[in-house]
Structure 1
Amino acid sequence: MKRIGFILAGLGLSLCSFAQGVELDEEYIELDTTEVALPDSMEILVSDSTEVYPESMEADLNTLLTNWYMQQYAVVDNSCLENSVNVDYPDSVYIRKLSQLPTVIEMPYNSVVRRYIDMYVQRRRALVENLLGLSTYYMPIFEEALEREGLPLELKYLPIIESALRPDATSRAGAAGLWQFMVKTGKSMGLEVNSLVDERRDPIKSSAMAARYLKDLYGIYHDWALAIASYNCGPGNVSKAIRRSGGKTDYWEIYPYLPRETRGYVPAFIAVNYVMNYYNDHNICPVLTRRPLLTDTVQVTRRVHLKQISDVLQIPIEEIRSLNPQYRRDIIPGNIRPYALILPSQQVYAYIEAQDDIFAHDAELYAQRTSVEPAGIAPGTMVYHKVRKGETLSKIAQKYGVSVSNLRAWNNLSKSSYLRIGQRLAVSSKGAKKSSSTAVAASLAKSKSGSSASKYHTVRKGESLWTISQKYKGISAEDIKRENNLKGNAIRPGQRLKIPAA
């Protein structure tokens, strides 16, 4: 599947600690309140002190310009940033602009929503600038997943609140990925989470599961504000708030009964929809990109380390990691089942052609043993053997590589002594023969030393047989051709050549 877009993954933004299904048992406490007027003249009581801003709003952008993708693709218009000044509008303008958004989900305005808008367009302008740059890559992925489930496309802005569009985001509560799934929720939705693979961080798979989850939540309440709130704190807490309110089913009416962080979640969602559509009206300059990154997907059917791919294809490993954030330890366990690998599209054919070279590159370094024999008994160690039915001194002595006479001496046995089942015999390994595992290890060592004369060289861009031969003393270009059965002098980057012994 080919995707065309811009990617600026891993911008160093802070994370959001929201997580699904975390059932809180927070009792409603009466607090000092201020009135918040809704557009339909309904008034509710909301306390300023009950608001909890998402962690993504507190993003640290100090390391932004040193980020690999920012260096490769981002263009920051410093003149625009220096001259950008926020424009403040009266409430009536915000009400009008929100009402003009082409959304299915209701976007009401009040003082709580206004505070979130102000947070984004005033104090967190740099964050919005970078979110706009990231959105050119991620929004098409989100829209495709939402469209597949028949959901409102404005839900695509939820990951901005959840993770600041960082697939590697992990909250203090343990939620991870763009959509901030908890492990339990992710697994229940069919996402794989283990030591090597965390599909909560996979932009495509996690978006598909998030859309399904949101659809299920809407099926419970048939109200998008309540569904969005339950995405944050779990349906149990929303249902609890409904009960405490006396059975009311309007988000703004059950507002005081919701967990603290959820009280700000829907207002933040409304604010993000406003900011991502009207950023120009506040003189916010989006981060642009020098050129688009075209990507394509291949299936990996063998265990491979991302460094092996990086070395052979000459792709920075940071780029492969950013495109494939679901591989937690840089290992693709393709030996278990096929896994997707996203690469720049111009490298896909190079990968297919060089697969054998990739898997062979530093194979010993990344190999995982499937079986291993323990070492034999250390010399001078006294062990004990429990006699089993049918065993004789001769068989036991042969098993441990000792003599029958020594076995008798260590256990004070005479020639006329009989063995009984369950009897414990002391056995010393002093003077014992090498165990089979020791012999195997010696054989492997001998084999390894015997093959040490052969070396391998991975061809890099611009190299020829002659330049490669100059790197190995006593080796000519003809020697390399002969060793690798080459008919001509043509070689390709990533090709693995055997270097003969000098």
Structure 2
Amino acid sequence: NVPDVFLFLAMAESNFISHAKSGKQAVGIWQFLAPTARKYGLRVDEYVDERKDPYKATNAAIKYLKRLHKMFGKWYLAALAYNAGEGTLQRAIKRAGTDDVMVLLDPKKKYLPKESRKYLAKIVMLALISNDKRYRVSSELAYILTRGEEYDILPVKVKGAELLDYVAERIKLRSSFLRQLNPHIKRGFTPPDVKRYTIYIPKLKYKEFVANYKPSNSYRNFVVYKVKKGDSLYAIAKKFRLRVSSIKKFNHLRSNLLRPGQKLILPVAKKRKRIYKVRPGDTIIKIAKRFGVDPKKLKAWNDKKSNFIKAGEELVILY
């Protein structure tokens, strides 16, 4: 129930460039700021930026525009609020004493910022051009959302922490092209904190996906590591039993330079669970040393406040 003309709002915001970024840090086709994006159900974190997902971001924009329409009562006011912000528009209406569009856009009174005044005019201009038979490419406005895509695309579910390169290999598609279809995935793999995650593939590859994709058996997981003062790539790699080259690859690093506070994605091995039966003479320290784990963590895994254990007791060990 949002008018088709609002597609031109997206065109005015970003020219339909999914990786568009403004000086104010608004991102994607619909130019969401991160707090607003999260408010309307989009993930923005170390793993993904769903403001760059044209489908999820469009659904979020629809929710936002409907809310603005409910708040202000008119679609042109919803468009102005989308660009200028709810508070800015409310103050402008209060100063003008009316919500009449011609009054609000008065360049002499300057009730709204210059950018916002031009913005509504730009949407109207784009809509008029699109409806002119001399320029119109299609009778369906919605086609412009996917006008730059080489193929029709479909959403499919893959497992969490799945490499896009692996999926591309299974469906015989160039890895670079699959990454291009999924600009919202930051590091080349799906978020590790969910069981399944949606990615997009060409419609032509759907049958191959159904026939050939099986979740990888990789024991890989990913953790976020915050760089501390004095850290080096070599020290971090040694601590997590990784290659320096792997850390650089997953974080798109061209050099070995790090800065305190920088966040790194580390492709660590998933921990395996083992039930260990305590033998006579065992201690927490001895068992922890045997399995290469921290004694404090061993106690935490087993809800122990002291080091007391007894023969025959079963302990959970993650290693």
Structure number with higher relative contact order (C-alpha < 8 Å, ≥ 6 residues apart): 1
Q: CA deviation at 1:238?
A: 0.6
Conserved? CA contact 1:297–1:348, under 8 Å:
no
Distance 1:253 1:185 in 2: 28
Distance 2:151 2:27 in 1: 25
SS of alignment partner, residue 304 of structure 1: coil
Where does the alignment leave 5 or more consecutive residues of structure 1 unmatched?
A: 1-149, 373-394, 401-433, 440-502
Q: State the partner residue of 1:224.
A: 75
Residue in structure 2 matching 1:315, options 166, 173, 176: 173
Residue in structure 2 matching 1:276, options 125, 130, 133: 130
State whether structure 2 residue 18 is matched by structure 1 residue 161: no
State whether structure 2 residue 95 is matched by structure 1 residue 244: yes
Distance 1:215 1:399 in 2: 60
Q: For residues 291 and 230 of structure 1, do their structure 2 counterparts lie closer, same or farther at Cα, with a shift above 3 Å needed?
A: closer
Q: CA deviation at 1:360?
A: 4.8
SS of alignment partner, residue 201 of structure 2: strand
Residue in structure 1 matching 2:269, options 369, 384, 388: 369
Counterpart amino acid of residue 216 in structure 2: F
Where does the alignment leave 5 or more consecutive residues of structure 2 unmatched?
A: 137-143, 221-241, 251-266, 273-281, 294-319
Q: CA deviation at 1:176?
A: 1.0
Q: State the partner residue of 1:259.
A: 113
Distance 1:291 1:232 in 2: 27
Q: For residues 155 and 370 of structure 1, do their structure 2 counterparts lie closer, same or farther at Cα, with a shift above 3 Å needed?
A: same
Q: State the partner residue of 1:333.
A: 191
- C-alpha RMSD of matched pairs (Å): 3.5
SS of alignment partner, residue 333 of structure 1: coil
Residues 272-281 or 324-333, more deviating: 272-281
Conserved? CA contact 2:40–2:64, under 8 Å:
yes
Counterpart amino acid of residue 318 in structure 1: S
Q: State the partner residue of 1:210.
A: 61
Distance 1:230 1:291 in 2: 30
Residue in structure 1 matching 2:211, options 327, 339, 353: 353
SS of alignment partner, residue 331 of structure 1: coil
1:111-122 equivalences in 2 (<5 Å)? none
Q: CA deviation at 1:272?
A: 1.1
Q: State the partner residue of 2:38.
A: 187
Q: CA deviation at 1:183?
A: 0.7
Q: For residues 292 and 167 of structure 1, do their structure 2 counterparts lie closer, same or farther at Cα, with a shift above 3 Å needed?
A: closer
Q: State the partner residue of 1:474.
A: none
SS of alignment partner, residue 152 of structure 2: strand
Q: CA deviation at 1:334?
A: 5.9
SS of alignment partner, residue 269 of structure 2: coil
Instruction: Report Cα offsets for 1:170-225 as digits up to 9, x if no partner.
Output: 21211111111111111111112111122211111111111121111111222222
TM-score by length of 2: 0.62
Distance 2:123 2:211 in 1: 46
1:5-16 equivalences in 2 (<5 Å)? none
Which of the two has higher C-alpha Rg? 1
SS of alignment partner, residue 181 of structure 1: coil
Distance 1:302 1:156 in 2: 32
1:430-469 equivalences in 2 (<5 Å)? 435-436=289-290
TM-score by length of 1: 0.41
Counterpart amino acid of residue 307 in structure 1: D
Distance 1:208 1:310 in 2: 27
Conserved? CA contact 2:219–2:270, under 8 Å:
no
Q: For residues 352 and 207 of structure 1, do their structure 2 counterparts lie closer, same or farther at Cα, with a shift above 3 Å needed?
A: same
Distance 1:291 1:215 in 2: 28
Q: For residues 242 and 362 of structure 1, do their structure 2 counterparts lie closer, same or farther at Cα, with a shift above 3 Å needed?
A: same
Q: CA deviation at 1:348?
A: 2.4
Distance 1:200 1:235 in 2: 20
SS of alignment partner, residue 311 of structure 1: helix
Alignment: residue pair count: 229
Q: For residues 172 and 371 of structure 1, do their structure 2 counterparts lie closer, same or farther at Cα, with a shift above 3 Å needed?
A: farther
Residue in structure 2 matching 1:342, options 200, 210, 225: 200
